[in-house]
Amino acid sequence: MKAAVLKKLKEPLIIEKVPIPAIGSKDVLMKVKQCGICTTDIRMVSGVRPTGNLPFIVGHEGVGIVEEVGKEVTQFRKGDRVLMDPLLSCGMCVNCSFGRDNMCENRKMIGIDNGTQGVFAEYGVIPERNLYKLPDEVSFTDGVFITSLLSTAFHGVRRVDFKASETACIYGVGSIGTMIILTLKAFGASQIIGVARSEKTLKNAEKFGPDYLINSGREDPVKKIRELTGGKGVDVGFEVAGNPEAVLQTLYSTRVGGRTCILGVPFHRAILDFKDDLGFFREICQKEASIIVSYGYARQEFPMMLNMLKKGLIDFSPCRTRVVSLKEVNEGIKLAEAGGYTRIIIEF
């Protein structure tokens, strides 16, 4: 089979023929149809998040068709359309026992961690428990959106126990932020306010149907959000920008008793510097604020997302994609780095 292989950090992936991997008794051989290019893939190739064992096949956002099943596999057969969950959890530790497999003590990610070759390839080996049937009504591209972006947004919305008719703001309306907009709409939000510094980002987010968008480079977003909510602030604030200033602004934008969900990852030292000496008291203690961090997704959420998409509750049509072939993967990585697309997708 052909695969895009990482042979040396900070160098382009090499397209070459490699053996089709063998499956175990509980594994499925998936013929990959599409795979998204994630920021993590880019970080691995660039050496920012290196993997120790090279050569290595990256890629963890795959969808495809079942080609072969192990002798103990009971849920799938050849020809099934499937979506992969790249998170390998043990199912045995205390966190898995409580349904929080994203916090598994033995977690690994296919295509990211050593010993888990990815799916920037024509075929990939996926454990049976990490696959979900893709309904005929759901396209392969929509399946990529689920495993690559919607899963993170969906988990964040569930983490704060978002309720119908509640109000929300989102600091950072890029790829994940726009998925939060779609999820909040499906959950019945009464008001959705998006915040970003880039006019280009805001123009793209407009297509996803928020009620109001704020350019934080031109006006004070906290003041505007309070104005839009009768001086109270929103019920729930989502921080997706990945910087301390946005975390603070999200906190300031929530009402008394409100919740703040942090999804952004700064990847650097973060210090929260409140506006004045009483800032922490007013915005955290006096408001009895809830600060919730969301990390990844939970396996039980995939059937939920698939059902919502099947019923038309989530609509990916505003998403902007660019499809590249496997031989164009390095060009695709550059396009993903440059931004402007919801997802760059490799098609086989």
Q: For residue 13, what is the domain's CATH number? A: 3.90.180.10
Q: 253, 275, 293 — which closes off a domain?
A: 293
d(CA 137, CA 339): 29
Q: Average pLDDT over the chain, rounded to whole?
A: 94
If asked whether residues 66 and 176 sit together in one domain, one would say: no
Output the domain CATH number for residue 267.
Answer: 3.40.50.720
Query: Does residue 55 have a cis peptide bond before it, meaning omega lies within 30 degrees of 0?
Result: yes
CA dihedral 287, 293, 294, 296 (to 10 degrees): 170
146 in the same domain as 18:
yes
Let me know whether 281 and 328 are in one domain: no
Specify if 156 maps to a domain: no
Name residue 56's beta-bridge partners.
Answer: 6
> For the chain, what is the domain count?
2
User: Quick check: is 248 in a domain?
Assistant: yes
Q: Is residue 72 situated within a structural domain?
A: yes
Count other C-beta atoms under 10 Å from residue 269's C-beta.
6
Kindly state whether residues 173 and 263 are assigned to the same domain. Answer: yes
182 and 239 share a domain?
A: yes
Question: Do residue 304 and residue 284 come from a single domain?
Answer: no
Q: Please report, to the nearest 10 degrees, the dihedral formed by the alpha carbons of residues 151, 152, 156, 157 taken in order.
A: -40
- Convert the pLDDT of each residue in 88-136 to its tens digit: 999 999 999 999 999 999 999 999 998 899 999 999 999 999 999 999 9
Q: Which pLDDT score is estimated for 159?
A: 97
Range of the domain at 90: 2-151+296-347
Mean pLDDT of 48-77: 94
307 & 288 share domain: no
Residues 324 and 185 in one domain: no
Range scoring the smallest mean pLDDT among 44-53, 146-155, 170-179: 44-53
Binning pLDDT at 50, 70 and 90, where does residue 264 land? confident
Q: Are residues 238 and 122 in the same domain?
A: no
| 41-50, 53-62, 308-317: the lowest-pLDDT one | 41-50
Query: Is 179 a residue whose pLDDT tops 90?
Result: yes
Asked if 221 and 310 sit in the same domain, the reply is no
- Strands, E, within 45-203: which ranges? 56-57, 62-69, 81-84, 87-88, 108-109, 123-127, 131-133, 167-171, 191-196
Evaluate whether residue 24 is within a structural domain: yes
Residue 110: inside a domain: yes
Handedness of CA 179, 87, 52, 54 (dihedral sign): negative
pLDDT at 268: 64
Same domain, 65 and 8: yes
Query: Distances in Å between the alpha carbon of 253 and those of 57, 170, 183, 301?
Result: 43, 10, 20, 28
Mean pLDDT, range 190-218, rounded to an integer: 97
- What local confidence, expressed as pLDDT, does residue 277 receive? 75
Return the structure tokens found at 89.
Answer: 């959890």
Specify the range with the lowest mean pLDDT, choosing from 166-180, 226-240, 279-293. Answer: 279-293
3-state secondary structure of 174: coil
Percent of the chain predicted with pLDDT > 70: 99
Do 29 and 139 fall within a single domain?
Answer: yes
